[in-house]
Amino acid sequence: MNKPSIALRLSFWYLTIFLLGALALIAGAFDMLRTHLLDIADTDLHGQTISLELWLDSRKDLPTAELQAQLKENYEVEHARDYMQINDLHGDLIYRSQLYPQQSLPSITPDEMDHPIYEDYRSGSDHFRMASEEIEVAGRGYIFSIARPMNQELDTLSAVRKHLLRVNAFVLIVAAGGGYWMSRRATAPRRGLG
């Protein structure tokens, strides 16, 4: 059985090396974009935590029942589309948005809070980025959990991945043809000797 020509073998190795490099580039670009989108989401969630901390600080002298009433009044209207929950450090519920329990998002207990937690959650077909932080205002501690939908960001990542793979397939076809052409030209003097 005849071995494949040297031009074909050179083309195969050229294409293999090019494929590995292209896949590494795609993986790196995809990971960089994913990390950047998560950083944007985390910054947004942290900003909302700071906003709540300032809001609570402006009402630090209110008893819990009045604080709950003001939270409900303020957040049910202005933040009706937020996924958020506030507990005290004993685990007692202070406030929960209407959307929070609909998505089966977890409740973080005080024992779990040794540092801010940023995690991804999936509820049915919906994806969320969730932040939980411990807030202390005037000696009173709270655990604030807030989530934001990530479906649009994940759709963007999916579209970018598909685009990169389509472009990579085209580039590989061109590289295979070019590699074969170059190796045929490189081995032409050898073929003339035989």
Q: Would the pLDDT of 74 be above 60? A: yes
Question: What are 17-71's pLDDT values in tens digits?
Answer: 888 888 898 889 889 999 999 999 999 999 989 988 998 899 888 888 898 888 8
137 CB-near residues (< 8 Å, 6+ apart) = 53, 56, 57, 60
**Dihedral sign of CA atoms 169, 172, 176, 181 in order:** positive
Question: What are 103-112's pLDDT values in tens digits?
Answer: 778 778 777 7
pLDDT of 35: 93
More confident residue, 5 or 115: 115
Distance of alpha carbon 183 from alpha carbon 18, whole angstroms? 15
Taking domain 48-150, whether its CATH number is 3.40.630 is answered by: no
DSSP 110: G
Q: Would the pLDDT of 193 be above 70? A: no
